[in-house]
Amino acid sequence: MTFNDFDLNPLINKAIVQVGYETPTPIQQKAIPIILANNDLIACAQTGTGKTAAFSIPMLNKLAAKKQDGKIRALILTPTRELAIQIHENVIDYSKFLDLKTTVIYGGVKQKNQVTALANTNILIATPGRLLDLMNQKYITLKDVEILILDEADRMLDMGFIHDVKKVVKAVSNKRQTLLFSATMPKEIKKLAQEFLTNPMNVSVTPESSTVEVIKQELYHVNKNDKKKLLIHLLRTDLKDGALVFTRTKANANRVVKLLIENGIEAKAIHGNKSQAARVIALQEFKDKKIEVLVATDIAARGIDIDLLDCVVNYEIPNIFETYVHRIGRSGRAGAKGRAISFCDYDEREYITGIEKLIKQEIPLMPVNCDLDKVELFKSVKTPRTSERRSSDNGNKIKPKKPKEKKVKGISGIRVDKKSDESKENSSEQKASKPRDSKTRDSKPRDAKPRDAKPRDSKSNESKDKRFGRNTEKSKSDNQNFGGNKIKQRNARNFESKNNADKSARKVQRKG
């Protein structure tokens, strides 16, 4: 099949040839004819499948068929500014020979330039918060919208935008065609679709919530404190072409960047506290291979589109399982081979259990094939603050700051909070409203017994050591895998019988 088979406007075909697409991807093959036939559509497609072109190309075909009158005729609603910018770039590419004006608006920047750019716009790409702001200020009316596209609907739900989305949809004329794209199809999205779509057709390119198959996934069990060394080791050996590294929080993204720079690896972070300009520069430098590593939080990474991204590293495992699918979808885009490496410490193993359930496969466990104790890390020397110098001049001892202990949530095996750690950090880019209703799918306790309560398989320690390629006499290498079997068994016991232990402790106290 080729794009010619869709019988598109020749000017759109010309643009497609210029961007270098030869064959429509599966989602394009399925979705484009349905949209061209004016149907509403629910499409279950992950990022990286070519979904942007799947909705943009038929949208442009429909808009180009009518004379333009400077009104907003198509609206694409998307959760993050990165994604909005990405879609904007794609639509500009596909419409370069058409007489259509496309504008993108998103929060986090001043509205003035965006308001100016809105004049005579035909296609508007927007994040929900900024769109509502400008609608409330009467800069935008959506009454002429003929096609409404809700992109990454599940993500908008996760980010707490659902009420904003509903308000926007209600402001659009009922005579519209509505397309809903989502990587996953939770109940709430199905409900939303029922409410806002009319007799929709359904297409799905991968089974719900399944992982992009071309991606080679690898899992490393590693102590939290050894993650730095493992990352440096891999970047020095196996990942010399660099990688996109994910952390759960903005603070950790900064820490990883600092670590990499101290160790001679060029790196930059993108997250909600970085200005839009800084994010764009970092992304461009990564695309141009001026920096080897881009460290990103999930929200900032949404919409990152880098061709031929070899490897994604999950430095921290996401506590929202679907996020794993989104993250690794950065690699292996449009059918290219990809690789996703996950570093999992003891506390994160229940997340892996949840992820594996979601993707319906076990992520292959890799042995840490080096002695992490021998990996050297460099640290920049900190100049003490003036006040500290003064007090030490006076002979006063400076008390070292006690490191804050971070509580690990969700250890009970129940997914208590759907919001990511990054969201909890109160990201400025999220106009997050209420957290999701606790009665949604998250309230269902997950398999109460994480696989980690037991060793990964029930084989003896000896055979497991063989599987890990370890020297059984060497306790050091045990350390690389959750601090040795004794600790592991102890932790597992503690983990499993925490409640019982608490109860019996209380009993003993009462008896005493």
Tell me which stretch binds ligand AMP (CB under 6 A): 44-52, 125-133, 288-296, 470-478.
44-52
Segment lying near ligand AMP (by CB under 6 A), choices 23-31, 202-210, 272-280, 386-394 = 23-31
| Pick 303 or 450: Cβ nearer ligand AMP | 303
Told to check if 338 binds ligand AMP by CB under 6 A, we report no
Could you list the beta-strand ranges (E) of 286-335.
293-296, 311-314
Which member of 47, 209, 247, 342 binds ligand AMP (CB under 6 A)? Answer: 47
Which residue number, 47 or 430, has a Cβ lying nearer to ligand AMP?
A: 47
Instruction: Tally Cβ neighbours within 10 Å of residue 276.
Output: 15
CB of 328 to ligand AMP, least distance (A): 14
- Span from 22-30, 136-144, 162-170, 455-463 in contact with ligand AMP (CB under 6 A): 22-30
Q: Of residues 9, 49, 78, 420, which one binds ligand AMP by CB under 6 A?
A: 49
Find residue 124's DSSP bridge partners. 75, 103
Q: Does 24 bind ligand AMP (CB under 6 A)?
A: yes
Q: Among 21, 106, 161, 246, which residue interacts with ligand AMP (rule: CB under 6 A)?
A: 21
d(CA 29, CA 10): 18
* Nearest-approach distance from CB 50 to ligand AMP, in angstroms: 3
Among all chains, which residue has been given the structure tokens 């020297």? 471
Q: How far is the CB of 97 from ligand AMP (least distance, A)?
A: 18
Please state, in angstroms and rounded to a whole number, the distance separating the CA atoms of residues 308 and 287. Answer: 10
Smallest distance from ligand AMP to CB 197, Å: 21
Q: Which stretch binds ligand AMP (CB under 6 A): 16-24, 134-142, 382-390, 406-414?
A: 16-24
Listed residue (266, 482, 472, 256) closest to 372, CA to CA: 482
Assign 395 to helix, strand or coil. coil
Are the CB atoms for 225 and 375 separated by under 8 Å? no
Choose one: 42-50, 106-114, 192-200, 433-441; the region binding ligand AMP (CB under 6 A): 42-50
The rounded distance, in Å, linking the Cα atoms of 495 and 499 is 9
- Both structure tokens of 15: 């643009």
Determine if 214 is a binding residue for ligand AMP (CB under 6 A).
no
What is the footprint of ligand AMP within residues 455-494 (CB under 6 A)?
none
How far, in Å, CA of 391 to CA of 398, rounded? 7
CA pair distance 284, 458, nearest whole angstrom: 47
Choose which of 12, 44, 53, 232 interacts with ligand AMP (CB under 6 A).
Answer: 53
Q: What is the 3-state secondary structure (H, E, C) of 93-106?
A: HHCCCCCCCEEEEC
Is residue 268 within 8 A of residue 291, CB to CB? The reply is: yes
Q: Binding of ligand AMP at residue 52 (CB under 6 A)?
A: yes
**Cα maximum dimension of the chain:** 87
State yes or no: residue 60 binds ligand AMP (CB under 6 A): no
25 binds ligand AMP per the rule CB under 6 A: yes
Give the integer Cα–Cα distance in Å for 9 and 500: 69
* Total site size for ligand AMP, rule CB under 6 A: 16
Instruction: Give the integer Cα–Cα distance in Å for 208 and 190.
Output: 13
CB closer to ligand AMP out of 244 and 368: 244
If binding is defined by CB under 6 A, does position 223 make contact with ligand AMP?
Answer: no
**Rounded Cα gap, residues 186 and 162, in angstroms:** 13
Nearer to ligand AMP, 52 or 103 (CB): 52
Residue 52 Cβ, how far from ligand AMP at the closest point, in Å? 3
Closest contact distance (angstroms) between CB of 305 and ligand AMP is: 5
- Contact between 107 and ligand AMP by CB under 6 A: the answer reads no
- Residue 95: CB partners within 8 Å, gap ≥ 6? 12, 15, 60, 64, 102, 123
- The residue type of 146 is E
> Under rule CB under 6 A, which residues in 291-320 are in contact with ligand AMP?
305, 307
By the rule CB under 6 A, 78 interacts with ligand AMP = no
Pairing label, strands 147-150, 177-182: parallel
Q: Which residues of 445-457 are buried (b: 16+ CB within 10 A; e: fewer)?
A: ebeeebbbbebbe
Residue closer to ligand AMP (CB basis): 1 or 398:
1
State which amino acid sits at residue 389: R
Rounded least distance, CB 151 to ligand AMP, Å? 9
The gap between the terminal CA atoms of the chain, to the nearest Å, is 79
| Residue found by looking up tokens 């070292």 in the block | 400
76 binds ligand AMP (CB under 6 A): no
Which residue of 11, 115, 334, 358 would you call a contact of ligand AMP, by CB under 6 A?
334
In the bound state with ligand AMP, the residue whose beta carbon lies nearer, of 99 and 213, is 213
Question: Where on the chain is the footprint of ligand AMP (CB under 6 A)?
Answer: 21, 23-25, 28, 47-53, 305, 307, 333-334
